[in-house]
Amino acid sequence: MLQLAFAVAFSALPLTLYIPPIRSFNLFVHTLQIFLQDSSIFSFRAFLRMRLAISRIFNSIIHVTW
């Protein structure tokens, strides 16, 4: 059992070299958060415009068929 624990520990060690430390994620997370906040404003505006456009199209279809 001890040999299995050492095998797992030493096989996982190279994987830690590919994972950067948590402190280097701070700038990335902050930038991503700002980007998502800014893009959510634009996407909400785009959603409202698309909803208005679709409602106008459906209203014009309904008025033409009646």
In terms of C-beta density within 10 A (0-12 exposed, 13-18 middle, 19 or more buried), how is residue 11 classed? exposed
Q: What is the DSSP letter of 19?
A: S
Per-residue pLDDT of 21-63, as tens digits, reads 666 677 878 888 888 888 887 788 888 899 999 999 999 888 8
Torsional class of 21: left (φ above 0), alpha (ψ -120 to 50), beta (otherwise):
beta
Query: What are the φ/ψ torsions at residue 20 (nearest 5 degrees)?
Result: -70, 160
Q: What is the mean pLDDT of residues 6-15?
A: 69
Comparing 59 with 14, the larger pLDDT belongs to 59
The pTM is what?
Answer: 0.43
Domain boundaries, the chain: 2-65
pLDDT of residue 53: 93
Tokens of 12: 């996982």
pLDDT of residue 32: 85
> 10 Å Cβ neighbour count for 17?
7
